[in-house]
Structure 1
Amino acid sequence: MSGNTEVVVVGGGYAGVMAANRLTQRDDVTVTLINPRPTFVARLRLHQLVGGSHGAVVDYREVLAEGVRLVVDTVTRIDAAGRSVTLAEGGTVGYDYLIYAVGSGSTDRRVPGAAEFAYPIATLEAARRLRSVLDAAPATAALTVVGGGPTGIETAAELAEQGRRVTLVCGGVLGPYLHPRARRTASRRLARLGVTVLDGPDAEVTAVTRDAVRLGDGRELPSEVTIWTAGFGVPDLAARSGLRTDAAGRLLTDETLTSVDDERIVAAGDSAAPSDLPFRMSAYAAGCLGAHAADTVLARIAGEHPAPVDLSFPAMCISLGRRAAIFQLAHKDDTAMRLYIGGRAGAKLKELSCEYSVKHLVDEARKPGSHTWPKGDKRRQLLRARRGQAPAAAGRIA
């Protein structure tokens, strides 16, 4: 491709910022990042925002490369045929390539009353609203956190450490990713903080009212503030734009992260479903996938064939208040090892992981192309197995 190449990145989270910064390796590439808010949100710290120990925002001037143009607006539609995006505030922005990095959030659409009476925490605006609600609630108010994953555990621990009365409703297993040994450690720590943990098949929320949470076994828990961290949802921009998605709304791509509908559109982060086999939601994966999406675009600009994505997960970190955490080490196939680090040492590692999730973006802005990540072969095994089991679906796999 000759001349200047315009690349638009939709979404300014971990994936979008990493992709935008990495694209500045070439002087003949103009990068525009479109994001609905003027500051970068450190999603790993939203539970701290709710608890009052961190603001969870960083100025984009600190994490974006100088050559990246920031447009504060919301993309309402992608016109793949016309290679442009429509903005909520009016007007369009054209592109030669587009990186789709719109992120994810929690979802409550299946539970009656959850949308009306439960408070999500997955966005900056939602977390700030919840913080205001908690500030206005009595110190003795009964709080219910729904969801036994990392965000639910972290939010419950953060609030209980402040002396709040918290019930954590898991809807299944507490910390399903954790090794049983680490799960027992997390359970003991939550108990010491005074958190009531309800897990198992009966601990599934079936309805939420203004002042209570109803469970599958018929129990009704008094709840003056219900906090919703369960489920997974992504913006419906891809589907509204006529692009194929998976059942959850993630953009369907091949293994280079290129849309199955248009080679000019590349996805990254939680909103990508490569080969209909998405990676685990995490800031770590988002950054790595953002870098790979940029590499795919840069390869195409150079007239080269993009490489398939290759990523392994070395660990998962879950904070248990400010003074303890679980740093769960993992095998390359993203299954938990017996080995983990807890207590204060775990808390230090958790803090380092939060700091480095932003530092990696800063480093990439200063030296584009420098970000690296551990590789693994489990994904290739899964794809080979899928090819053998479902030849028709395998046609989408690069």
Structure 2
Amino acid sequence: MRDQRPETTRSQPRNAVVIGGGYAGVMAANRLTQGENVTVTLINPRPTFVERIRLHQLVGGSHSATHDLRDVLAERVHLVVDTATRIDAATRSIELAGGGSLAYDYLIYAVGSHSAASDVPGAEHTYPIGTLEEAQRLQAALTELPDHAPVTVVGGGLTGIETAAELAESGRQVRLLTGGVLAATLHERGRRSAAQRLAALGVELLDGVPSRVRAVEPDAVLLAAGRRLDSALTIWTAGFSVPALARDSGLSTDALGRLRTDESWVSLDDERIVATGDAAAPSDLPARMSCQAAVQVGPQAAETVLALIAGKQPDRLSLAFVSQCVSLGRRDGLLQLTHLNDTARRTYLAGRPGAAIKELICSGIIWQLKLEARFPGRVTMRLTDPARRRRLAAAGASVPPVAGAPAARVTAEEAR
């Protein structure tokens, strides 16, 4: 049940803690500094901010994909470099891996997402790319590999495409296995353009059911159709999941482990806990895991906390999409325009203009984080997907909690 204890004094100092220093968490922490009498603390396992949308560039050697967290955080945000291991809602405290605990009055759960564990036999021979540490491990492995050695990328979503293109452009011999449709979230016209660019870079593309991976060996991949393909190094981009912190803490989660909330991002269990980003499931209708969603919903989670502190009713979430971007090496890219509900339009922009816009967006997000740090609330994006409202109306009563359900995986297409 939610904590129904009333606020005593609106001017009373409050301690707000954010778990997670990704796009949503940093935006939330910076927006919280609008509260004049609110102490803001951010817990993150490392002192760096990771540009996950550039991890394929880190692997290819064209970008570090990291920034000092202090460069994107407001001065008022206290940074704790540690890992949260358990949330105790009853005592309003967070247990830390480094020892001890941290108390909170309000908590924003923004732990993000990571690569999903594969159940394919031999998965231990693969190299995921969903986190900084995974990307660094992959980069190190590539430096030990001759340029002519065959590299296999498994997963035909945007992450797989970007990784394959980046490596092929650098001179690697790359094969891309989609296991189904290449770039399923793009319009057919954009998909065709991406395939043409991959072919021009020399990427061997295998798609459809016959390209599904049945097993992985240290030097090969075995396909469902029975083929054995030589692979000196196999990169796995076929899925993402979320940390188990909420589920392990006894909070209500969906099948993937995302914290279940109402349409204001408030936990169904406790109104002092607010979730945002990849690890949140508002009304059991979570958004696509993406940076585009994170920079919208991070500030909204903070505004929910500030409204609760002030004794006001929080606003319902406002979230929509306008495009999908994919880099195809350093000289090519594709901007796919979308409807507000994230379905692809016919219109896309490819080639060098697409690459320029992709780079502008990546750089612009860092600028947006820094702007929020200096001037919290100055720039606010409010997009609304009317289709979501229709789905909510059709759903009627909320779905019963599924806390403790077995972990599920989300496809790479969903995770972009």
Q: TM-score w.r.t. structure 1 length? A: 0.96
Match of residue 296 from structure 2: 288
SS of residue in 1 equivalent to 2:268:
coil
Match of residue 109 from structure 1: 118
Match of residue 261 from structure 1: 269
SS of residue in 2 equivalent to 1:326:
strand
Separation (CA, whole Å) in 1 of partners of 2:231 and 2:117: 17
1:80 aligns with 2:86: no
SS of residue in 1 equivalent to 2:284:
coil
Match of residue 230 from structure 1: 238
Match of residue 328 from structure 1: 336
Match of residue 22 from structure 2: 13
Give 1:294 deviation, angstroms.
Answer: 0.5
Percentage of identical aligned residues: 60
Give 1:252 deviation, angstroms.
Answer: 0.8
Match of residue 45 from structure 2: 36
State whether residues 166 and 330 of structure 2, in contact with CA within 8 Å, keep that contact through their aligned partners in structure 1.
yes
Separation (CA, whole Å) in 2 of partners of 1:392 and 1:8: 28
State whether residues 29 and 77 of structure 2, in contact with CA within 8 Å, keep that contact through their aligned partners in structure 1.
yes
Superposed counterparts of 1:174-189, under 5 Å = 174-189=182-197
Separation (CA, whole Å) in 1 of partners of 2:170 and 2:395: 48
Deviations 1:69-114 (A, max 9, x none): 0000000000011100000010100000100011112213321111
Separation (CA, whole Å) in 2 of partners of 1:112 and 1:264: 42
Deviations 1:333-356 (A, max 9, x none): 211000010000000000011011
- Structure 2 runs not aligned, ≥5 long: 1-6, 403-416
State whether residues 160 and 176 of structure 2, in contact with CA within 8 Å, keep that contact through their aligned partners in structure 1.
yes
1:68 aligns with 2:74: no
- Structure 1 runs not aligned, ≥5 long: none
Deviations 1:133-172 (A, max 9, x none): 0001011111001111111000000000011000111111
Residue identity opposite 1:143 in structure 2: V
Match of residue 55 from structure 2: 46
Residue identity opposite 2:63 in structure 1: H
SS of residue in 1 equivalent to 2:399:
helix
Structure 1 residues 133, 392: closer, same or farther in 2, change over 3 A? Answer: closer
SS of residue in 2 equivalent to 1:393:
coil
SS of residue in 1 equivalent to 2:267:
coil
SS of residue in 1 equivalent to 2:108:
strand
1:303 counterpart (286, 290, 311): 311
1:342 counterpart (332, 339, 350): 350
Residue identity opposite 2:353 in structure 1: A
Match of residue 394 from structure 2: 385
Separation (CA, whole Å) in 2 of partners of 1:319 and 1:148: 14
State whether residues 283 and 398 of structure 2, in contact with CA within 8 Å, keep that contact through their aligned partners in structure 1.
no
**Runs ≥4 in structure 1, deviation > 3 angstroms?**
none
Separation (CA, whole Å) in 2 of partners of 1:61 and 1:77: 25
State whether residues 130 and 240 of structure 2, in contact with CA within 8 Å, keep that contact through their aligned partners in structure 1.
no
Residue identity opposite 2:346 in structure 1: R
Deviations 1:266-302 (A, max 9, x none): 1111001111111011111011111111011011011
Separation (CA, whole Å) in 2 of partners of 1:383 and 1:205: 37
Separation (CA, whole Å) in 2 of partners of 1:246 and 1:87: 24
Alignment RMSD = 1.3
Residues paired across the two proteins, number? 392
Q: TM-score w.r.t. structure 2 length? A: 0.92
Match of residue 133 from structure 2: 125
State whether residues 108 and 230 of structure 1, in contact with CA within 8 Å, keep that contact through their aligned partners in structure 2.
no
2:155 counterpart (116, 130, 147): 147
Structure 1 residues 392, 313: closer, same or farther in 2, change over 3 A? Answer: closer
Match of residue 247 from structure 1: 255
State whether residues 253 and 401 of structure 2, in contact with CA within 8 Å, keep that contact through their aligned partners in structure 1.
no
